């Protein structure tokens, strides 16, 4: 586990391909490719996940969405900025940024255990025991609580975005859909949040890297598409009552909350809904509202109750309360931590557990890897194929560097998926 003190000492570090050994491609997403890289000489044991994004793709999306304040261009910039502020053992450190003529990118901690999704798939019945679910639920709750204490709503909690660190603890990744909500009452928010003791020294800093300078399109700590929350008659004061609401339509369809689908504005409660979906999936091996297509999935999210089959347990009760369609009645952090499912949990010491349910093996082959030109070619051919043999060209780059099939499966299983029309639902 990384110590809290000085976790962000590397944030202003400038990386280049002279001080990085890019070993293999781990996966791709809507905007870029993640590579496994080592720092320093080839004997170094420090591995990084290097997210590389095409400059041409960023500029293309900027021109396409020039009237949209919440476009991909802004998200890329925001992700780098929020990573630089994190000081929590369940969130990644920004280890440095880089830029070439063709790409920009940043490095974060590498997690050798893959994703919570891939771990569930390895289980005999593709489901977890209640005790295992409890462990991961506790850590996800702590990670979300920290994000919310910074005023950040995550908006993309799903098993594919939950990585397993070398020590077995989780790490949330992919923050390009996250948003900094504008506080209505900063005093109330500070009084009811519990950030890391070392986080305050980082949250007020704004680091301007070359990456940020290239991507920035006028982003401010609080995004501009938030609207005030009006006309709510609630008997209790919730964490979302203290902030403006966002009306952006983002997320991964099976995990999005009803208020996102309906477009009525949303706050921190969307993350607790997504936590309920994740817990349901861990318990039953499937998500609760999945339909034959996106339209049917959204209809189920808005109208159907989750089928919590089996005996009544504290876990099923918690899932049901998280999957409350009315965000004003949905359970939130203090009620979650006090729920019977977590009875006996020592929240202040859970991160000190030396033996989580799964400890991955961290064996990374020390290969020659990709050159700077190889990385640029790889990314360019994925997003701007110049001919029908683009996939073949990429395979040749991999072949040249001796990379096998197993190197592709840590974050995303398939490089060659076809992006859907709505890029908001493509997460990297």
Give the residue from 292, 337, 280 showing the smallest Cα distance to 128: 280
The token pair at 286 is: 């499937």
**Residue in 156, 223, 374, 424 annotated catalytic:** 156
CB atoms closer than 10 angstroms to residue 224: 11
Q: What is the DSSP code (8-state) at residue 52?
A: E
Gap between the Cα atoms of 81 and 371, Å rounded: 27
Alpha-carbon dihedral angle through residues 49, 55, 59, 60, given to the nearest 10 degrees: -90
CB atoms closer than 10 angstroms to residue 341: 19
CA distances (Å), 127 to each of 8, 134, 244, 283, 312, in order?
Answer: 36, 13, 37, 6, 18
Chain position carrying tokens 């020294």: 201
233 is catalytic: no
Catalytic residues: 156
């Amino acid at each position: 586990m990384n110590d809290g003190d000085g976790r962000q000492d590397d944030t202003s570090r400038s990386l280049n391909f002279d001080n990085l050994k890019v070993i293999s491609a781990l996966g791709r997403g809507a905007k870029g490719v993640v590579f496994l890289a080592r720092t320093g000489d080839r004997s170094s044991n420090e591995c990084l996940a290097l997210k590389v994004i095409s400059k041409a793709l960023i500029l293309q999306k900027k021109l396409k969405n020039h009237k949209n304040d919440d476009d991909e261009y802004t998200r890329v910039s925001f992700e780098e900025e929020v990573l630089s502020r994190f000081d929590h053992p369940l969130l990644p450190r920004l280890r440095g940024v880089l830029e070439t003529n063709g790409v920009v990118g940043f490095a974060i901690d590498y997690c050798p255990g893959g994703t919570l999704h891939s771990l569930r798939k390895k289980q005999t019945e593709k489901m977890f025991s209640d005790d295992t679910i409890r462990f991961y639920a506790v850590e996800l709750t702590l990670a979300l609580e920290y994000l919310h204490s910074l005023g950040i709503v995550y908006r993309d909690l799903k098993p594919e975005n939950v990585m397993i660190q070398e020590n077995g603890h989780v790490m949330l990744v992919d923050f390009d859909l996250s948003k900094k909500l504008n506080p209505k009452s900063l005093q109330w928010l500070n009084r009811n949040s519990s950030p890391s003791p070392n986080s305050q020294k980082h949250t007020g800093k704004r680091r301007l890297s070359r990456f940020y300078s290239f991507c920035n399109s006028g982003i401010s700590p609080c995004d501009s598409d938030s609207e005030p929350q009006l006309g709510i008659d609630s008997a209790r004061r919730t964490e979302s009552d203290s902030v403006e609401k966002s009306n952006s339509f983002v997320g991964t369809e099976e995990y999005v909350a009803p208020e996102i689908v309906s477009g009525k504005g949303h706050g921190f409660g969307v993350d607790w809904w997504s936590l309920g979906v994740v817990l349901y999936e861990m318990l039953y091996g499937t998500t609760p509202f999945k339909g034959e297509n996106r339209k049917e999935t959204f209809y189920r999210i808005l109208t159907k109750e989750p089928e919590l089959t089996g005996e009544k347990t504290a876990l099923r009760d918690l899932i049901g309360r998280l999957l409350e369609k009315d965000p004003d009645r949905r359970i939130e952090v203090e009620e979650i931590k006090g729920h019977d499912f977590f009875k006996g949990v020592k929240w202040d010491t859970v991160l000190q557990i030396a033996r989580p349910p799964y400890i991955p093996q961290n064996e990374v082959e020390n290969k020659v890897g990709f050159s700077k030109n190889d990385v640029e070619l790889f990314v360019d051919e994925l997003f701007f194929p110049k001919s029908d043999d683009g996939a073949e060209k990429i395979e040749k780059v991999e072949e040249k560097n001796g990379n096998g099939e197993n190197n592709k499966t840590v974050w995303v299983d398939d490089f060659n998926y076809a992006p859907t029309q709505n890029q908001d639902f493509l997460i990297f």
